[in-house]
Amino acid sequence: MDFIIHPQGVVIPMVDQLPNLGREEEMLKAMGLQNIDDLFADIPDDVRFKGPLPLRPPQSEEEILSDARRLLGANIAMGSRTSFLGAGLYRNYIPASVFQLVTRGEFLTAYTPYQPEVSQGMLQAMWEFQSLISELVGLPIANLSLYDGSTAAAEALTCAVRVHNRKATQPNTVFVSALTPPDKMSVMENYCQGAEITIKTLEHNADGTLNLDSLKEAAGSCGVYLEQPNPLGVLDEGLTMTKEIIGEHTALIVGAQPVSLGMVEAPGHYGADIVVGEGQPLGSPVTAGGPLYGIFACSKPYLRLMPGRIVGRSIDVDGNEAYCLTLSTREQHIRRHRATSNICTNETLIALMGAMHMALLGPEGLHDLAYRNAAACQKAKEILVDTPGVRIVHNASHFNEFAIEIEGSAEACLAYLDGNGIIGGFDLGRWYPSITNQILITTTDQTTEQDIEALSAQLSMWTSHQGVSA
Amino acid sequence: MSHLFNHNGAPNTGYSQPPSIETAVKPSIPAGLVRRQQARWPRLSEPEMVRHYTWLSKRNFGIDTGFYPLGSCTMKHNPRVNEVIAQLPGIADIHPHQPEHHLQGLLSIYYEMQHMLEVCAGMDQVTLQPVAGAQGEFTAVRCIQEYFRLKGDTKRTKVIVPDSAHGTNPASAAMAGFEIVEIPSRVDGRIDLDALRAVADETTAAMMITNPNTLGLFEADISEASQIVHDAGGQMYYDGANFNAILGITSPGLMGFDAVHFNLHKTFSQPHGGGGPGSGPIGVKAHLAEFLPGPLADRRTPTAAEQSTAVDEFWYHWREPAHSIGKVQQWHGNAGAVIRCWAYYRRYGSGLTTMSEHAVLNANYLRHAIHKAAREEGVDHLFVDGAETDVAKHEFTLSLQPAKEQLGVSAMDVAKGLLDRGYMAPTVYFPLVVPECMMIEPTETESKDTLDTFAQHFAEVLKVDAETLHAAPTTTPVRRVDEVYAARNLCLRHPYDE
């Protein structure tokens, strides 16, 4: 290994990254300077660091990889256990070609396509992404991604207010499902407070479906946010009636799980004005919750007030097909403080993974992927309904998650399952503090019958430890 | 042309899925919710899909393709071992809701990154949650807003930004609900302290500024600016977009700032991915620390039971700040980006200072080389420095106003001429205070030879006749794209219905 001793006495195994190490003198001399410090003569002494940064010494590539393997190896990967944890993030299989292609340097190391002539690849790929998402959710317009599902939902609320506030009888007011996970709600509150938007909540029935009487209160507000399936995994047919109840001057915003749309009706086909969602289940690993990509699609009245970047198909000076960013006058680099959003860097590369996964699936592949998710969920319900001490909470249709009630505390039960090698699901008490004994069970295409049998057996054991017999 | 939507092969052509689990009863979708028409997506076999995206990639320019001197974006080389690390199952296949004893490795890396950024920025607490620079700005001004609200100081409704600021600064502050007060820069591009004094008062919540500024110049008056804002009772916010210039040399903390965001995708080499993902952690002084979004990674001595799963002598855990503004992203930020940037940091360690020195060395050398080549080619009358200065920092600006006036050649024309010579164009028309601006940032990962060659090409482009430059580029996958046509004839998706 090549080591360079820096004047400050630091040992640097990094000539591989800094090609001009050792050429400083030559370069400085050409500029008529003596030493590196001359380049910093404009920085006053009283704001200068004294001495080297108090950080660890540099490492070589091999040492870094070795440390990474040790530290990340100490994390428990979901794939190394039987896992039923989802609650907003879902680990479906991602075909190998997606990973192979997305690390091509032409995609990986590019930035925002400010020079369209040399960025046609990503521009076209994002235009295709917009086309795939638009068709998936049943709306004519989609942008090329926001940060994640939560920021997409939050930006949808502020967008709805921008569009509807003038005609609203409840101006600056939006209604959000009371089931919305608190972390997502918190993002919405942060995004809405600056525009002085009031967020009110919509109640749900005991079976998990939306209370349509509660929805009547939302008429005349700027927007309503609901999820399909909802955060408890329930597929709610009532959502097809919501647009009629709230009326044309209130935006219906639906948060959708994209894989479910292989079987479940596209929200745009039952009146949604804006569809948002966590794109991650298509094309992206869970990655501890980021990077992900937020889906944002809308109908035409929202186009000029929507957030995020959009690619349009155009022509070049020779009349040949060409792509470029368009409608940029909504954006911060032009509109500054009057922009529709402050977003600049987004999640393009992850959206590209999504597009690649969608391209491989095709319509039938998406249906099959959705069916495998749903079949695993159905199987889990069939087995757990007969498991001693376990009750399925909602007598409803589910896509790939459902809530169960168990004996004793959910937290203790999950710790017990963990001790037996099973990541048992999500403790719903973390979202809804009054609930202490419910677990959200998630299945994906990766769930096997053996996984479900193992969960059932351990839950059965758990129940017997609670002193209850079937 | 290769078109995704021209492919319409047999069903299930892209990848083979195993059969679903057998169930007693078919999974049911409520009758009113069954999807009536499948998405009219294309159907591609794997070879067709691979070829389509490979074809697209060949029509895209990245750092791997060639020199990418895009000012303000810090397009440095992305070390490939970082990509290998980010795909390990210990990061790619973990869930943020897993218990802490499943995530000790992640937590320890989060802790190490928080600490490193605190040291480099001179801040007391860092959160890694914001997922992009603009979101970091928004998060920090939200923290400042809640800080004043908790103090009952409700009159502080304004945020001051220089007219040379990145567009995200005013956009982020406005999104948080602040009124924007823009102050003009001096003719030399630097902050006008008198203008600042004139607006800083009891309504000032914060000033947002980057240093070195967007012209690549160090604001030597920064301590005085901090003093003015602090005397008025406001907070100083540091836009870390230009942090690559100053690591280990100075810090926002030393300059008197209270809050800062980092663009990990710039300074710490998270690949830009054609427009993201990024990562935009923020750091704050102690008085703002309890307002940060949670969770933060923290550590303590492990209990006896914890020792077996600990990764070192500490037990790492999440912590919620007492007066947290809440969340700006639903999970723990862009963890995948944080891991890559951790690997990048490990390569340099305390040698990050050398990294910044070389970023500044390369920028100054390139500025020198461009002027020299222009003199030798007799085109030095066609541009001037965007701002007068002895030394620039990590980037510099040129004004092509003379070329515009003398030849009718714009900064955009020169940019397109550079594309024809195999380079990514510098940032053009930013900052707005420099007419016909070109903003050039070579980064530390370019060799002297690359810089010399680029300087020569830059001078040669200026020798090309105006007509040819107006018609440039001619060697790229498409020629100049009609953005007006795109906006007037909106085609934002495949025309399924036609």
pLDDT tens per residue, range A149-187: 999 999 999 999 999 999 999 999 999 999 999 999 999
Structure tokens at B372: 């020299």
A45 touches chain B (CB under 8 A): no
Look-up of token digits 């001179």: B122
Are A160 and B312 a contacting pair, CB within 8 Å? no
Of A60, A93, A106, the CB nearest to B58: A106
Using DSSP's 3-state secondary structure scheme, residue A401 falls into strand
Please identify among residues 49-78 of chain A the ones whose CB lies closer than 8 Å to any CB of chain B: 49, 52-61, 63-65, 67-78
Gap from A175 CA to chain B (nearest CA, Å) = 19
Contact assignment for B20 to A87 by CB distance below 8 Å: no
Q: How far is CA B48 from CA A49, A102, A360, B42, B51, in A?
A: 55, 16, 9, 11, 5
- Interface subset of B 135-174, CB within 8 angstroms of A: 135, 137-138, 142, 166-168, 170-174
Q: What is the pLDDT of residue A7?
A: 47
Q: What is the pLDDT of residue A2?
A: 38
Judging contacts by C-beta atoms under 8 Å, the chain B residues touching residue A369 are: 17
Interface of A with B in 287-346 (CB under 8 A): 287-292, 303, 309-318, 320-327, 331-339, 341-346
Question: Are B497 and A138 within 8 A, CB to CB?
Answer: no
Instruction: Report the C-alpha gap between B481 and A317 in whole angstroms.
Output: 6
Confidence of residue A312 (pLDDT cuts 50, 70, 90): very high
CB contact at 8 A, B193 and B226 = no
B439 touches chain A (CB under 8 A): no
pLDDT tens, residue by residue, A192-201? 999 999 999 9
| Predicted confidence (pLDDT) at residue A4 exceeds the cutoff of 70 | no
Q: Is the pLDDT of residue B16 over 80?
A: yes
pLDDT of amino acid A12: 53
Question: What HEC string does B361-396 produce?
Answer: HHHHHHHHHHHHHHHHHCCHHHCEECCCCCCCCCCE
Q: Is the pLDDT of residue A6 over 70?
A: no
The answer to whether residue B84 scores a pLDDT higher than 90 is yes
Distance CA A15, CA A13 (A): 6
Which residue on chain B is closest to A25 by alpha carbon?
Answer: B361
Using pLDDT thresholds of 50, 70 and 90, give the confidence band for residue A9.
low
Q: What is the pLDDT of residue A469?
A: 46
Q: What are phi and psi of B260, to 5 degrees?
A: -150, 145
* Cβ–Cβ under 8 Å, residues A354 and A158: no
> What dihedral angle (degrees, nearest 10) is formed by the CA atoms of B371, B377, B379, B380?
30
pLDDT digits (tens, 9 = 90+) for B412-426: 999 999 999 999 999
Of B27, B255, B493, the CB nearest to A47: B255
Query: Is the CB of A68 less than 8 angstroms away from the CB of B343?
Result: yes
Determine the average pLDDT of the residues in A4-20.
65
What does the pLDDT look like over B282-303, one tens digit per residue? 999 999 999 999 999 999 999 9
Mean pLDDT of chain B: 96
Pairing of strands A198-202, A173-177: parallel
Instruction: Please state the rounded mean pLDDT for residues B86-97.
Output: 98
Predicted TM-score (pTM) of this structure: 0.97
Cβ contacts of A375 on chain B, cutoff 8 Å: 20-23, 26-27
pLDDT at position A338 is: 86
Report CB contact under 8 Å: B56, A125. Answer: yes
Asked if A203 reaches chain B (Cβ–Cβ under 8 Å), the answer is: no
Residue pLDDT, tens place only, A58-109: 999 999 999 999 999 999 999 999 999 999 999 999 999 999 999 999 999 9
Q: Which of A31, A91, A362 faces B43 most closely, judged by CB atoms? A: A362
B54 and A110 in contact by Cβ < 8 A? Answer: no
Compute the average pLDDT of residues B113-138.
97
Residue A308, pLDDT above cutoff 80: yes
Enumerate the residues of chain A whose CB falls inside 8 A of the CB of residue B108: 71
Q: In Å, how far is A402's CA from the nearest CA of chain B?
A: 13
Q: Distance from CA of residue A422 to its chain's centroid? A: 25
- The per-residue pLDDT for A16 is 85
Chain B residues with CB under 8 Å of A374 CB are 27, 29
Average pLDDT over residues B59-69: 98
List, as ranges, residues 98-117 from B with C-beta within 8 Å of A. Answer: 98-99, 102-106, 108-109, 116
pLDDT band per the 50, 70, 90 thresholds, residue B165: confident
pLDDT at A11: 54
| Mutate: best of B28, B54, B60, B226, partner A, most A CBs <10 A | B60
Q: What is the mean pLDDT of residues B194-214?
A: 96
Alpha-carbon distance B107 to nearest alpha carbon in chain A (angstroms): 9
Which pLDDT score is estimated for A1?
A: 33
Confidence label for A339 from pLDDT (cuts 50, 70 and 90): confident
Contact A290 B170 (CB under 8 A): no
Q: Closest CB to B249: pick one of A40, A118, A290.
A: A40
Query: What tokens does B160 get?
Result: 């001051």
- Cross-chain CB nearest to B98 (options A36, A41, A423): A423
Give the span between the Cα atoms of A119 and A104, in whole angstroms: 14
* Contact A166/B at CB under 8 A: no
User: Chain A residue with minimal CA distance to B494?
Assistant: A131
Token readout for A124 is 């076209």
B39 to A135: CB separation less than 8 angstroms, yes or no = yes
> Could you report the predicted ipTM of this complex, rounded to two decimals?
0.98
Residue of B13, B479, B492 with shortest CB distance to A141: B492
Which pLDDT score, from 0 to 100, does residue A14 have?
A: 65
Q: What is the pLDDT of residues A402-459, one digit of tens each?
A: 999 999 999 999 999 999 999 999 999 999 999 999 999 999 999 999 999 999 999 9
